[in-house]
A and B are shown apart, each in its own frame.
Chain A
Amino acid sequence: EAQVTQNPRYLITVTGKKLTVTCSQNMNHEYMSWYRQDPGLGLRQIYYSMNVEVTDKGDVPEGYKVSRKEKRNFPLILESPSPNQTSLYFCASSLGEGGLNEQFFGPGTRLTVL
């Protein structure tokens, strides 16, 4: 089944404790992206990747890191999480440019930073 998977689905952590949210897709898509969803703000892009080793900042990249060493994986790293990073996070992938093609979203990761 073609899909985007994220792990973990739920995470409660404390300020400053490094964490990684994994994202994997099995559709051989070049483009992958991370979004955060907050009430009243919609989906805001954190980082995106056009292909392996090609990443760029989105609209809200502060406090986050990403890497794209393999085509299928695009982990999101929070080196020192803070309470303002409490949010619902989505990974997405698309064949070709994400801004011009259908994006396939993962099920989401709900993160709470205490």
Chain B
Amino acid sequence: GENVEQHPSTLSVQEGDSAVIKCTYSDSASNYFPWYKQELGKGPQLIIDIRSNVGEKKDQRIAVTLNKTAKHFSLHITETQPEDSAVYFCAASIRGEYGNKLVFGAGTILRVKS
């Protein structure tokens, strides 16, 4: 079945620096790639997503890039702030019996040191 690998598992950066989280997927038919942020004690929340017909998408300080040939996609956070500290999950869509569903990566704990 579909497998999504996410690296690194933990990442510490200084406030103001950039952070990059990378994911690879196995199913070449995957066509939707969201990123979720989970703050302590809360459920995950979508922060940005990208579909297979686009190579890059940006929203203020966050951006996602997609390389369909290599089957990997990345999250870039610039000018990191303490409130960016959280767990980040990537995901890729796969086709199930009744429609598409998501397979998630294992998560990355991001710590922004002030």
Contact = CB atoms under 8 A, between A and B. Distances in A.
Given A42-B6, A42-B107, A105 B44 contact: yes
Interface string B83-107: 0000001010111111111111111
Interface string A12-43: 00000000000000000001010100001111
Contacts of A106: 43
Interface in B33-52: 34, 36, 41-46, 49
Interface of B: 1, 4, 6, 9, 31-32, 34, 36, 41-46, 49, 89, 91, 93-107
A107 B42 contact: yes
Interface in A67-114: 90, 92, 97-100, 102-103, 105-108
A1 interface: no
Nearest to B46: A102
B96 A99 contact: yes
| Interface size of A as a range | 20 to 34
Contacts of B89: 42-43
Contacts of B104: 35, 42-44
A41 B89 CA distance: 11
Contacts of B4: 42
A50 B98 contact: yes
Nearest to A55: B98
B97 A41 contact: no
A97 B93 CA distance: 10
A97 B106 contact: no
Contact of A56 (B46, B94, B96): B96
Contact of A107 (B1, B9, B43, B99): B43
Nearest to B31: A100
Given A42-B105, A100-B32, A54 B46 contact: no
A66 to B, nearest CB: 13
A39 to B, nearest CB: 9
A108 B96 CA distance: 25
